């Protein structure tokens, strides 16, 4: 059975040597004993394990998730992996929805800038300067927002721009 150096494992797996060392520090890969005056020898299966880790990361799994996946036994692996993947999928869908909201708001603001004839304030600057604790109404007056509403930047940009866009039409 051929043994590999850390450099050969890294090159074959398509990663940097420092990635292998980082995975070893995180407990994802074992570090073989170093023979006196020689190089550590890694089994060929190490390449498969590194590729597994990288593929899992590409799908959005954290290194903590990967550590859990690597410890699963064959009897419960599918059920637990599916549950973890379903949670990841839900988070990704939530992020996509937030990104679509941001995209739509920014596209509308860019469109307003494109239609603007050099008068008044820039719509994008106006949104960024808008006081999120005060919500303009259609008649130009203001009222305070409900503090229980989500004020995270990603969602507030969409909410704020929709509110401001309604008052400017």
Residue 47, number of CB atoms within 10 A of its CB = 19
Report d(CA 76, CA 83) in Å as an integer.
Answer: 11
| DSSP 8-state assignment for residue 140 | S
The string of DSSP letters for 105-132 reads HHHHHHHHHHH--S-S--HHHHHHH--T
pLDDT value for 120? 73
**pTM for the full predicted model:** 0.64
pLDDT of residue 71: 87
Residue 118 has pLDDT above 70, yes or no: no
Residue 161 to residues 22, 108, 119, 136, Cα–Cα distance (Å)? 43, 9, 19, 11
Q: Tens digits of per-residue pLDDT, 28-74?
A: 999 999 888 888 999 999 999 999 999 999 999 999 999 999 888 77
pLDDT tens-digit series, residues 96-110: 999 999 999 889 888
Please state, in angstroms and rounded to a whole number, the distance separating the CA atoms of residues 119 and 148.
Answer: 36
Band (pLDDT 50/70/90 cuts) for residue 76 is confident
The domains located in the chain, with CATH, are 6-71 (1.10.1660.10), 92-168 (no CATH)
């Amino acid at each position: 059975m051929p043994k590999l150096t850390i450099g050969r494992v890294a090159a074959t797996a398509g990663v940097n040597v420092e990635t292998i060392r980082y995975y070893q520090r995180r407990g994802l890969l074992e570090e073989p004993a170093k023979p006196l005056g020689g190089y550590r020898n890694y089994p060929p299966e190490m390449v498969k394990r590194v590729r597994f880790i990288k593929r899992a990361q590409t799908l959005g799994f954290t290194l903590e998730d990967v550590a859990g996946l690597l410890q699963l036994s064959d009897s419960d692996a599918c059920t637990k992996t599916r549950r973890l993947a379903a949670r990841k999928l839900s988070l990704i869908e939530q992020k996509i929805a937030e990104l679509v909201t941001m995209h739509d708001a920014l596209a509308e603001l860019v469109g307003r800038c494109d239609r603007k004839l050099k008068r008044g304030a820039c719509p994008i600057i106006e949104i960024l300067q808008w006081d999120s604790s005060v919500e303009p109404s259609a008649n130009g007056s203001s009222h305070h927002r409900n503090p229980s509403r989500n004020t995270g930047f990603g969602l507030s940009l969409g909410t704020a721009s929709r509110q401001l866009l309604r008052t400017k039409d």
